[in-house]
Structure 1
Amino acid sequence: MSDLFYDPVPGENSPEFSVTEISGAIKRVIEGEFGHVRIRGEVGRVSMPRSGHIYLDLKDDRSVISGVIWKGVAGRLATKPEEGMEVIATGRITTFGGQSKYQIVIEDIRPAGMGALMAMLEKRKAALQAEGLFDPARKKKLPYLPEIIGVVTSPSGAVIRDILHRLRDRFPRKVLIWPVAVQGAACAPEVARAIRGFNAMTPGGALPRPDLLIVARGGGSIEDLWGFNEEIVARAAAESEIPLISAVGHETDTTLIDFVSDLRAPTPTAAAEHAVPVRLELLSWVGDAQARLGNALTGRLDRSSQRLRDLARALPRPETLLDGPRQRLDVQSDRLPAALIRSVQIRRVTLSDIAGSLRPSLLHRATAAERRRLAALAPRVAPALSRSTKDRRNAFEAISVRLSSRPISADLGAKQRTLADLTRRLTEAQSRRIDEVKTRLEGLDRLRETLGHRATLARGYAIVHGDDKVVTNTAAAAAATAIEIEFADGRFKLGSAPTRKRNPKKPPEQGSLF
C-alpha cells in the first residue's frame, strides 16, 4: 500500500494522499465489501435522459441511496421503475468520485410482491382513464363480416391454432398473422409495433389492410401478462383505426388493453366467435328472408290483381263511352249546313259593304293591274289547260276502270264522303287564309304608320324646309332665301305666325276587305 502514499514530509509521520488516490482507495474498499447486494425500497426520483440510462433514488423512511441502470440493462427489464413503486433492486455498490457519493449500479429490479404490481397497475389505469381512453363512446363497431382479419400473437403457441380452427368452422376468412413475443421485455414494444403496422397498411394494396384485429395470448401469471399492461400497448390499441378485439389470458385475467380495445373476449376462441358469424346460420337466414320476400311479393300481386278486378267491375263498358260523342256528332252534323249558309250570307253582306266604300280611282287602278297580270298569264293558260285536261282525262279513265270493277252504289257513297270532307277542309283553309292575310295587312299598316314621318313629328320633332327643300345642315340653311319649319299640325314661316296646312278634302279611303 506504500505505492499510494507520498513520501512523508520531514518532521511529520502522517502520509499525504491525492484526491484521486483517496477516491480510488474508498471505491476499492466499498466494492470489495459490497460486491453484490439486494436492496428493498421505494422508488423516488426517476430520470431517463436521451442516453438511455435510468437514474433513480431508492429510499425508505430514513435514508436515500442513488441508483443507476445502464442502457443495456434498461432495455432488458421486464418492468420499468416508476416513482412510488416498492421494488427489490439487485446490483453492486460503487462510488462516483466526481461527486463524492456512493450509488448502486442496478442489474435487475422487480416489484416487491404482488401488491406493488397491482398498485402500479391501478395508478396507470387511473391515468389512462382520466385521459378518456376507456370512454365507451370511443369504441368502434365491429364489422359484421370482415374480409381480412389480422392476428397479433405468437406463431408457435396453441392460441393461433385455436383461432384458425374456430374461424374455419364458422366462416373461413383470410388471416394475416403478425408474430410477436407474448411475454418478457420484448412483448410490449413488439405488440405496439404490430398494431401500428397493421394500421399503416394501404387498403386494397398488395398486402391489404385488415378489417379487424385480434390481439391474443393464452393464460398465465400477472408477470407473464404484464407486457399487455404497459402504457405503450394501451395507447397503440386506443389509436388503432381498425376495430380491435383483445383476448389476453383466460376469462378472469384482466389487462389494460382490455379496457381500451373495442371488444374484450374472455378467450382467443371467443374472439374468433365474435369476429365472424356462423356461415350455415347466415345461409339459413338468407333462405328464410328469400322465402319471406317471395311470399310478400306473391301476396302483393294477388291483392293488386283483386283490386284491379274490383275497379274493372265499376268501370262502364267501352261501347257505352261513345254513345254521347256519337249523338253530339249527329246534332252538329245536322246544324252544319245551315251554319255554312249563314256564314256565306254574312260574308256576302260584308263584301257588299266593303265594295260600296271603294273609290272608283282605286278600283280602276286595281282593275288595270289585274288586267296586266292576267295578260301576262294568258300565254301560259293554254298549255296548262291542255296538261290539266290530259291529266283529268287520264284520271277519269282510271276511275272508269275502277268503277267497272266494283258496284256503283258503294263507290258513290265513298265519293260523297270524300266530297263532304274536302268541302269541310276547303272552308277551314279559306277561313285560315283570310285571317292570315288580314293579320298581315294590319301589321303592315301599323309598320307604315310607325315608320312614316308623321308619327315622328307627333312625338315633338320638326322638319326644316328651305326654298321648298328639306334642310339637313347649316350651310343649306344659310343659302336658302326662305325658311319654313314643319310641325305635326302645320308649317311655320320664320318671321310670320304659324299657319295650319290646309289638306284638300280627301275622298273616303277604301276600307278593309276583311
Structure 2
Amino acid sequence: MAPNDQLSDLMMDNIPEFSVGDISVAIKRVLESNFSKIRVRGEITELKRYPSGHIYFSLKDQQGKLTAIIWRYVTSKIKLPLEDGIEVIATGKISSYGERSSYQFIVDRVDYAGEGALLARIEKLRKKLEDEGIFSQEKKRQLPLLPRVVGVITSPKGAVLHDIQTTIARRFPREIILWPVAVQGEGAAEQIIEAIQGFNQITVSSIIPRPDVLIIARGGGALEDLMAFNDENLVRAAANSTIPLISAVGHETDTTLIDFASDHRAPTPTAAAELAVPSRVELLSSLLQLAKRLSNAFIHSVQSYRLKLREMHSRFPDIIMVLGQTRMRLDDRSYRLDLSLPGLLMKHKNCLNLIKPVNQYMIGLLNRYKNDLNLMSLRINSFWGYYHQKKIASLPSLPLNYLRAIVREQTLKLNSLSARLDSLSPQAVLTRGYVLVRNTQGHAISKSRGLRGGDKLLLMFQDGERLVRVSKAPKKKQETLDL
C-alpha cells in the first residue's frame, strides 16, 4: 500500500460520524441561532389556510422563494389581510424541518412593504367599496344648523380634543360628549367602530343625550399610523351611521377611506369643529340683516297695498248713492205692483162676467141644434126603416141628396158654433195661466177686500180645482193664498 493511501485512510478514521437526527438538530440550531429575529421582504404567493388554523405561504422575489408558516396561535395577531400578490415585510425566524430536509420561515408579524404597497391596498379597497355604493352622494346627510350635542371620537390625549373644544366654545358653546379611543395601532379600528355604534344606539330616553353630529378626529402622522381609518369594517360603520358624521383625520393632504364614507370631510380637527357649529357672531349679523330686509320689505309692501287700495277706492262708485237709487226703484216697483195686480184681476173678472151670458146663450143654442140634429136623425132612421119595410127597389135621388145637404149644412154650423163657444169659454182662459177664484158657495171672487184670514176658497185651474185658505202676510198688510 502506498504511503499516501495509508495517510488518507488514517485521516478518514479521524472524521467524526453523525446520525441523520444529529445533523438535523445541528442545522436547526445553527439556523435558529443565526436567524432568530429577521425581517424578510417579498411577495406573497401560494397562500393556503388549513382547517387546523395554520397559514402556509411563500415569499418570493426575482432571486428566490422562501417557504413561510404562520402558526394558529399567531394568526389572531395578524391584522393585515393576507392574499396572493401583495408585497409585505414579514418578521420572524428561520427554522428547519428535519423530516423533509427543508428550512422554513416562522412568521409572527406581517407589515406592508412601504407606502407603495399600502396605497395599492387602500386603492383596491376603495374601488371595491365604491362599486358597492358605500361612497354614494345620495347617502350623505346634511349637518344640523345648530346641534345641541356634539359627539367627539378621538384620543383623550393630545391637542386634537383641545382644539375642538376651544373652537366650539369660541364659535357657539355646545355640549360635547367624548368617547375616548385609540387612534392608531392594534385594536384602534375596533374601538372607533364601537364608539360610532355606541353613539347611534343612544335614544331620546337615555340618560346620556344623543349627539346631533359626530366628529372623528386624529392628528397627522405617517401612512402606517393612519391605517386604522382605512379599515373596511370602520368605513362601513361610518357609512351606516344614522347621525351625521364629520371626519378630520390627519393633515389637509392626508386622505383615508373614512373621509369618503363620512357625510363631510374636514382638513383639520379645528375645521371639523367649525363645520359642526356655526359662528354666533355671524348668525347674529345675518339675523340682523335679515330682520332689516324683512322690515323694509314689509314697509314697502304696506305702502304698495295702500296705494292700490286708494286707487281701487277711487274707482268704486258711491255705495250709499247706489243703494239709495236702488231702494227708490224698489219702492216704485212695489207701489206699481200693488196698483197693477188688483187692476189686472178686476179686468179679468170683467171679461169673465162678459163671457158668462154669451156662454149661457151659446150653450142654449148648441143644445137647440143638438135637439134638431137628434130629431133629424130620428126622421132619417124612420125613413130608412120605412124603406126597408116596403122593400122599395129605389128612391128618387133628389130627396136623399137634399137630406144629405141639410145634414152637412147643420154639421158645419154646429162646428162653427162649437169653435166660437170654445174661444169664449173660461176653460180657454184657464189654459193661458189664469185662475178662477170662488168661495165655498160657488160665487166668483173678484176682490180681496172682503176676504178674511182663515176663509176657504176654491181655485179652478185648467186641470182641476184646489181648496185653499186665506192667511195674512207677516210683513206687508196684504193677504196671500196658501195652497
Same-fold status (TM-score > 0.5): yes
Question: Which has more radius of gyration?
Answer: 2
> Superposed, which structure 2 residues align to 1:69-218 within 5 Å?
69-77=70-78, 79-95=80-96, 102-202=103-203, 205-218=206-219
8 Å Cα contact 1:217/1:249 also seen in 2:
yes
> How far 1:437 moved relative to its partner?
9.8
SS of equivalent residue, structure 1 residue 176: strand
Any idea what SS the aligned residue of 2:167 has?
Answer: helix
- Higher deviation after alignment, 311-320 or 263-272: 311-320
Q: In structure 1, what residue type is equivalent to 2:310?
A: R
* 1:371-416 alpha-carbon deviations (Å, 9 max, x no partner): xxxxxxxxxxxxxxxxxxxxxxxxxxxxxxxxxxxxxxxxxxxxxx
Deviation at 1:91, TM superposition (A): 1.7
Shift of residue 179, structure 1, vs aligned partner: 1.6
Q: 2:338 aligned to 336, 361, 371, which one?
A: 336
Query: In 1, distance between residues paired with 2:30 and 2:450?
Result: 139
| Deviation, structure 1 residue 155 | 1.8
Contact 1:67 1:105 in 2 (8 A): yes
Contact between 1:57 and 1:66, CA under 8 Å: does it hold in 2?
yes
Secondary structure of 2:255's match? Answer: coil
Q: Which runs of 5+ in 2 are unaligned?
A: 1-16, 361-439, 442-446, 468-482
Q: TM-score, normalised by structure 2?
A: 0.62
Cross-structure match for 2:44: 43
Instruction: State yes or no: 1:248 paired with 2:249.
Output: yes
Give the share of equivalent positions with the same residue, in percent. Answer: 39
Inter-CA distance 73–16: structure 2 relative to 1 (3 Å threshold): closer
Q: TM-score, normalised by structure 1?
A: 0.59
Whole-angstrom distance in 2 between the partners of 1:428 and 1:132: 96
Q: Which amino acid in structure 2 is aligned with residue 168 of structure 1?
A: A
Q: Which amino acid aligns with 2:142?
A: K
Distance 1:441 1:206 in 2: 91
What is the deviation of 1:73?
A: 3.6
1:326 aligns with 2:360: no
The whole-number CA distance in structure 2 between the counterparts of 1:106 and 1:64 is: 15
Q: Which amino acid aligns with 2:275?
A: H
CA offsets 1:144-168 (integer angstroms, 9 cap, x no match): 3333322211122221121121112
Residue 61 of structure 2 corresponds to 60
Q: Is the 8 A contact 1:43 1:59 kept in 2?
A: yes
Paired residue secondary structure (1:56): strand
User: Retained in 1: the 8 A contact 2:147–2:213?
Assistant: yes
* Structure 1 residue 60: Cα displacement: 2.5
Give 3-state SS (helix, strand or coil) of 1:185's partner: coil
Structure 1 residue 267: Cα displacement: 0.5
Spell out the pairing of 1:431-510 with structure 2 (5 A cutoff).
none
Report how many residues are paired: 365
Distance (whole Å) between structure 2 residues aligned to residue 86 and residue 31 of structure 1: 29
Q: Is the 8 A contact 1:248 1:255 kept in 2?
A: yes
Q: 1:338 to 1:261 in 2, by over 3 A?
A: closer
Q: Structure 1 residue 262 and structure 2 residue 263: aligned?
A: yes
Amino acid at match of 2:246: I
Deviation at 1:324, TM superposition (A): 4.4
Is residue 31–residue 92 contact of structure 1 (8 Å, CA) maintained in 2? no
Q: Secondary structure at the match of 1:118?
A: helix
Point out where structure 1 has 5 or more consecutive residues left out of the alignment: 1-14, 358-368, 371-422, 445-513
1:78–1:184 contact (8 Å) kept in structure 2? no
Q: Which amino acid in the other structure matches residue 153 of structure 2? A: V
Query: How far 1:44 moved relative to its partner?
Result: 1.7
CA deviation after TM superposition for structure 1 residue 424, in Å: 10
The structure-2 alpha-carbon separation of the partners of 1:285 and 1:23, relative to structure 1 and needing over 3 Å to count, comes to farther
Change (3 A) 1:334 1:185: closer
Structural mapping, 1:348-497, within 5 Å: none
Label 1:337 to 1:112 Cα distance change in 2 as closer, same or farther (>3 A).
closer
- Residue type of the alignment partner of 1:260: A
Aligned twin of 2:230: 229
Look up the match of 1:487.
none
Q: What is the SS of the residue equivalent to 1:93?
A: strand
CA distance in 1, matches of 2:172, 2:342: 89
The within-5 A match list for 1:237-316 is: 237-316=238-317
Task: Tell me: CA distance 1:48–1:183, structure 2 relative to 1, closer, same or farther (3 Å).
Answer: farther
